[in-house]
Amino acid sequence: MRMIDLMEKKRDGQPLSKSEIRFFINGFTTGDIPDYQASALLMAIYFKGMNRAETVNLTMAMAESGDMLDLSDITEYAVDKHSSGGVGDKTSLIALPLVASFGVPIAKMSGRGLGFTGGTLDKLESIAGYDVNLTEAEFRRIAGETGIVLAGQSLSMAPADGKIYALRDVTGTVASLPLIASSIMSKKLAAGARGIVLDVKAGKGSFMKTPADARALASAMVRIGVDAGRDMVALLSDMNQPLGVAVGNALEVAEAVMTLQGQGPDDIHDHCAEIAAHMLRLAGQGQRWADLDETRSEVDRALRSGSAIEYFGRMVTAHGGDVRQVEDLSRLPQAKLRYSLLAREAGYVARVGAEKVAWAALALGAGRAAKDDVIDHAVGIEVHASVGDAIAAGDRMMTVHANDEGRLQAALELLSSAVAYSADSVPRLPLFHGVIDGKDLSPGTGT
């Protein structure tokens, strides 16, 4: 088999076979196929696309390019969730302890943030001592002892994806639906879950700007999972304004803790309850938690009661974190400067630009513009207003937390145009734009 034949075949719009895809993935991972040939094939895929069988074969080849985690000794049915990234999205910090509180073990590997999307690991490292870098033995031990572990992904999992993504990033081939879907799902499949809930964001504060684009990506990922033998659900959620109030690492940890104590903002409460209900339904495998409405009600009651906070504390302690910062949120990192942005006029909030808030948080130091940037866990923004709120002139719209005057001014400049006002009432934004359930999809035609 020759790489030039694969490049020409895909250039001409023909589908690649399973063996051809594996030849490419194995050869590129080991270094036998050079970057320039891999780049040519990726560009051909960008222009010509991939069919359903090609996409699932690409995903499985990338997943199997490294270690495949087996969680059967931890739980008979491992369930996981993935978010495509958003502004103020601290869902994993809430939904996972919530699911664990129902007796469903959670063993999840998460990532760091790059750009304006915050990473779960960065948020957890706001807690002093929290160790996200676990060996596989430590990962398994914590899962078995506490019922929940949330750590970083092993470098030995899906190494082909890391190499291919680095190449896509510098060759203009990032925005390819089959390449995006296979990149995300290869890591999910390698992480050992049998049931996967996807939270795919749509809006100005996400990668997919419209519900139609988010639906296309979600459908592709659900089809991959179904064809790989996994139970799949994708929720299409809105990201035109921040989720919850807090944007920034320690601020989001504090909001997650408050939500787990039954005191969080309504939107993050409802969002996490929905995610957790779908995770439980998959974990029940059609028996326990079969009725989604009933499960959603149980989850809502558990979240309001504050019972799930125990599992968050267990997780923090098991990872070496200072649980006193969970018990007393004032112990979390605190910024030196605070600045309140006030409403310029009375009326209704017509827009709270998620992307403006995200870039402002990045300017403060809450995120990374480059992979080696150091994060300031204390800084961020509290967004006190949501689209549809009635306001009076002088009402507090945002609170900016900063540690540097220059960074504060840069953030304020970005935030100056983040909020739009209307004299007339404005409808509230939906939390979700729909659900794609894998059980409603027909299986693929084979690989």
Residues of the chain below pLDDT 50: 445-447
pLDDT digits (tens, 9 = 90+) for 146-164: 999 999 877 688 999 989 9
pLDDT, position 446: 45
| Cβ neighbours around 364 below 10 Å, total | 28
pLDDT, position 155: 64
pLDDT, position 275: 98
pLDDT, position 443: 64
User: Which percentage of the chain shows pLDDT scores above 90?
Assistant: 87
Residues with active-site annotation: 82, 161, 168, 183, 187
Contacts of 381 (CB under 8 A, 6+ apart): 246, 247, 248, 251, 357, 360, 361, 364, 398, 399, 400, 401, 411, 415
DSSP three-state, residue 335: coil
pLDDT, position 373: 81
pLDDT digits (tens, 9 = 90+) for 2-57: 999 999 999 999 999 999 999 999 999 999 999 999 999 999 999 999 999 999 99
CA distance 351 to 40: 42
pLDDT, position 287: 81
Token code pair at residue 145:
């002892």
181 to 16, 115, 189, 348: CA distances (angstroms): 17, 20, 12, 38
Strands (E), 211-364: 231-238, 246-247, 337-342, 347-352
